[in-house]
């Protein structure tokens, strides 16, 4: 871990598990109430979290939760004073998203049909508004479009008659490149 600290030139212990006061950490969660309640029940019994929260150090005694924020919310719900965290920087936070499958970018001009299907299966399972779409239909429509046109933006998806309208495009910006 010393090399990580030296490389970044900081005294913040990046990548190490720390026990931080909940009051020092800001963050919100989009997790469902049922999930937060289930975590809260476990935390009430054990008194501590097993899975650390990933936080970015903002300034002295100030952190922002960037991953596993549902655990922070649950810890507050049961009144825990401290929680286990791992301090990350921007580079590590970006890597976290990839490792967690939250930031899979697929190149629409280069991906094979199988890769496109896998990408839209992932999107379908992670974004509720995509749950009725058929990833195979979308992938085939993209392949067909690519045969005659180069993809320069995402708006072409709205013309493919594959179930993707203008309202769904913002959700795809972080997952697809061209």
pLDDT given at position 6 = 36
98 pLDDT exceeds 80?
no
Q: Is 175 left (phi over 0), alpha (psi -120 to 50) or beta?
A: alpha
Q: CA-CA distance, 46 to 162, in Å (whole number)? A: 48
Number of Cβ within 10 Å of residue 72's Cβ equals 25
Any idea which residue has 């507050």 for tokens?
Answer: 76
52 pLDDT exceeds 80?
yes
Q: CA-CA distance, 27 to 17, in Å (whole number)? A: 18
Query: 107-143: per-residue pLDDT in tens?
Result: 999 999 999 999 999 899 888 899 999 999 999 999 9
What residues are paired with 86 via a beta bridge? 17, 54
pLDDT given at position 8 = 46
pLDDT given at position 68 = 95
Domain covering 2-99 in this structure, CATH number? 3.90.1530.10
Q: Judging by beta carbons within 10 Å of its beta carbon (0-12, 13-18, 19+), is residue 31 exposed, middle or buried?
A: middle
12 pLDDT exceeds 60?
yes
Residue ranges of the domains in the chain? 2-99, 106-177
pLDDT band at residue 103 under the 50/70/90 scheme: low
Of 177 and 71, more confident: 71
The tokens for 135 are 């990833």
% of the chain at pLDDT higher than 70:
93
């Amino acid at each position: 871990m010393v090399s990580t600290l030296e490389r970044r030139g900081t005294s913040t212990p990046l990548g190490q598990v720390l026990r931080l006061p909940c009051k020092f950490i800001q963050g919100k969660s989009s997790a469902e109430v049922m999930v937060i309640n289930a975590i809260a029940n476990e935390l009430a019994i054990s008194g501590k979290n097993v899975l650390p929260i990933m936080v970015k150090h903002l300034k002295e005694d100030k952190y922002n939760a960037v991953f596993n924020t549902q655990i922070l919310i649950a810890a507050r719900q049961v009144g825990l004073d401290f929680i286990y965290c791992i301090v990350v920087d921007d580079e590590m936070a970006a890597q976290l998203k990839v490792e967690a499958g939250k930031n899979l970018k697929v190149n629409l001009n280069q991906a094979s049909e199988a890769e496109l299907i896998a990408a839209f299966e992932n999107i379908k399972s992670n974004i509720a508004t995509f749950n009725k779409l058929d990833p195979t239909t979308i992938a085939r429509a993209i392949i067909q479009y690519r045969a005659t046109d180069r993809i320069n933006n995402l708006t072409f998806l709205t013309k493919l008659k594959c179930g993707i309208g203008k309202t769904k495009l913002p959700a795809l910006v972080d997952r697809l490149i061209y």
